[in-house]
Structure 1
């Protein structure tokens, strides 16, 4: 089910797999890869990202990709570069498209989606059953990239 990920690198960063998560049908979770984003020239961890493989009701609102860049390293487009590497892995899983979501007011994350080549499909309502709704997020931007 899970593929080798040692090829997920470019001249600036590489993704280092630190765990995988199997599907959990009871919670509506698809299988996932979790990575540290590491800068090549000094092996500094600059953030984290993950790829959730497949599509279901949860990924419609929560997306297939998540990312976080640590504060000192923001502004270097590391998240969009990591997304592009995750697209390679998504293609291995024969995914035709990848959804990335973010809060409408998160301008930095919206720019990340755009820099990675994703197009805004719309700002959609998060249903009350979804975990994001329970944490206060009522709307989400849904970006899509066709692979």
Structure 2
């Protein structure tokens, strides 16, 4: 089910796989990869990201990609570059599109989505059953990247 990920790198960063998670139907979780984002020149961890494989009600609101760039490393388009690497892995899984969501107030994430070519589908209401709603997010921006272009 899970593919080799050693090719997920560019001149600036590489993704170091530290765990995978199988599908959990009861919780509505799709299979996922979890990575540490490493800077190539010095092997310093600059953030973390994950790719959730497939689509269901959870990914509609929470997205297929999650990322965090640590504060001192922000402003270098690392999150957008990470997304582009994760698109390669999604294609291996024959995914035709990726959903990325973020809080409407999160301007940096919205710019990241635009940087990597995502199209804003809309700002949608998060249902009360979803973990995002329970953590306080009532609306989410839903972006789509079409991988079959």
TM-score by length of 2: 0.98
Match in the other structure for 2:126: 126
Distance 2:101 2:86 in 1: 15
- 1:74 matches 2:74: yes
> What are the ranges of 5 or more consecutive residues in structure 1 without an aligned counterpart?
none
Q: How does 1:1-147 map to 2 (within 5 A)?
A: 1-147=1-147
Q: How many pairs align?
A: 147
4+ runs deviating over 6 angstroms:
none
TM-score by length of 1: 0.99
CA RMSD of aligned residues (A): 0.4
Q: Deviations over 1:35-92 (max 9, x none)?
A: 0011101111100000000000000000000000001000011000000000000000
SS at match of 1:8: coil
Distance 2:36 2:118 in 1: 22
Distance 1:92 1:67 in 2: 20
